[in-house]
Chains A and B, each alone.
Chain A
Amino acid sequence: METFNYVKAPNLEKALASANEAKFIAGGTTLVDLMKLHVETPKTLVDINLLPLDKIEKLPDGGLRIGAMVRNSDLAWNDEVKKSYPVLSEALLSGASPQLRNMATTGGNLLQRTRCMYFREPDAGTPGGYGCNKRTPGSGCAAMDGFNRIHAVLGTSDKCIATHPSDMCVAMAALEAVIHVEGPKGKRTIPFADFHKLPGDTPHIENALEPGDLITYVDLPKPVEGAKSTYLKLRDRASYEFALASAAVVARVEGGHIRYIRVALGGVGTKPWRSREAEAALMGKSATATTFKAAAEAALAKAKPHKDNAFKVELAKRCLVRSLKTATVTA
């Protein structure tokens, strides 16, 4: 590991003032791991664990404000989240292990980095190492013709096919969360759909944050009246494994017809994958197996499989169909 300067920020102002050229460290579950692998080599670490951003509060408009430092386990087990946003609780509890969930934070999970094994190679992107455009733009992509069973089929480019690994983010995409950021230019909010970036020609740019920006809160809109929500994750093991395909669905059915629907997929996209194509195929239609199948076909219509991951296309379709069934069952 490269050495670094360590700064403990006593408050938000000091954290923002020290942010220049630094990385913030909260839970450390991604950052420390990647520092050991020489993927991350920050010159300065600003520890933000003292910042008072660890609360979950109801907003006056009926929404929920989640502090960036709220740990994954606290968010998953929060009564309001369990009651009004079960898709988020289920997604969080399907991710990582209890120990990691006790450490990982809401803000940090938004910035979780890919598990692409080429990206995680210590010398990737250096001469003699595997090509990785995310590590070093222009160095190529070893995954493209390499072992790419775990890689993405949606949102890929000819520069990068790395999968976004987070479960939490898939639920938040379906819930249309809003991310609050504070930085050198002041405060701003970023809609969830605009936060993560497609790789395109610049896979090293993963999100809308600018240097010195700190995530402060994530707001969830008021729960949709009468809606059910669910998260289904399919993977190689029953627990403690990343998704091969997952689906987050928020749905309201009235008189057998779908009156509200939000769909997001995980494990298959280069970012948390909101599927407006699936939503368009579902909205106003009858909640039947035929409709669900059509929505799944629409969601994966633009999928681009590689050598080892073609199975994900069918797996994601079935995952979505099953989730839609669960979320539209009326009592």
Chain B
Amino acid sequence: MADSIDTRFRHLRSHTPEHSNHPLAPDQQSVELEPIGLESAHVRVSRRSFLSGIGATGLLASAAPLSTAATVEEPAQEQTEAAGGSTITLRVNGKDYTLKNLDPRATLLDTLRERIHLTGTKKGCDHGQCGACTVHVNGRRVNSCLSFALMHEGDEITTIEGVGQPGNLHAMQAAFVEHDGYQCGYCTSGQIMSAVALLKEPIGPSDDDVKQAMSGNICRCGAYTNILAAVKQVRSRA
């Protein structure tokens, strides 16, 4: 069981030391989102940075103007007073991150992913309709796509990376593994962030209450039955 959890949660790791020197390691999550262009031959290529590079050169440019801008305009350290941007400190998973030259348009979601490189939080619809971007702000679950990062100085932000780690899973993470509460896994971090939050919310005891409380998280694969089983298990043991 422990081995299986370790393997299956490998994608939640921020680093995979055994592969860190391999340029094309499949699990490479040491993301380099400093300016990426196809002309920068020395840039370490991971699946994620490769896709981001394509986005920055125009394939996806019309679909995601903000994330493109965030990728391209990542400032050098010395440009602290560059025009327009603000410098703020965000507290995420108990750690302070000082972000220089932050575009006011940067959502909390994009900032977590593109600037702090915590890519466990996912971007689905980007309009507060799917729940993939769910994080906790001061202990309450919110859609990080509908909030600007500048609004969160002084807040205690928790992402899926802060909830538990391989070898030290939160009970809800372990329950999702045990009950197979996902198929493709894209919505999973948002589902788990919602499920962890609802443990402290005054919702009723029934299955219907759990379904209502989880209705802000859409699962396109339809793993709802297993998600419900996972949430019920943790609630019953809480």
Contacts and interface: CB of A to CB of B under 8 A. Distances in A.
B150 A98 contact: no
Contact of A32 (B103, B107, B201, B216): B107
Nearest to B208: A238
B148 A28 contact: yes
B193 to A, nearest CB: 9
A238 B194 CA distance: 19
Interface stretch (B1-9, B15-23, B139-147): B139-147
The number of chain A residues touching the other chain, given as a range, is: 20 to 34
B74 to A, nearest CB: 17
Contacts of A239: 211-212, 215
Contacts of A3: 84, 103-105
Interface string A28-40: 1100110010000
Contacts of A311: none
B49 interface: no
B125 to A, nearest CB: 10
Interface string A76-106: 0100000000000000000011111011000
B205 interface: no
B229 interface: no
B105 A98 contact: no
A73 B197 CA distance: 13
- Contact-residue bracket for chain B: 20 to 34
Given A3-B84, A240-B215, A99 B107 contact: no
A1 interface: yes
Contacts of A45: 104, 148
Interface string B180-206: 000000000000001001100110000
Contact of B131 (A47, A99, A102): A99
A1 B66 contact: yes
A49 interface: yes
Interface string B127-145: 1100100100000111101
Given A5-B104, A32-B147, A49-B151, A99 B215 contact: no
Nearest to A2: B105
Interface string B47-87: 00000000000000000011000000000000000001010
A47 B150 contact: yes
A28 B151 contact: yes
B126 interface: yes
A3 B148 CA distance: 12
B231 to A, nearest CB: 13
9 contacts: A32-B146, A73-B201, A96-B216, A98-B201, A98-B215, A99-B141, A99-B142, A240-B215, A240-B216
Interface of A: 1, 3-6, 8, 25, 27-29, 32-33, 36, 45, 47, 49, 73, 77, 96-100, 102-103, 238-240
Interface of B: 65-66, 84, 86, 103-105, 107, 126-128, 131, 134, 140-143, 145-148, 150-151, 194, 197-198, 201-202, 211-213, 215-217
Given A8-B151, A240-B216, 12 more contacts: A4-B104, A5-B104, A6-B86, A6-B104, A6-B150, A25-B151, A28-B146, A28-B148, A45-B148, A97-B128, A98-B194, A99-B134
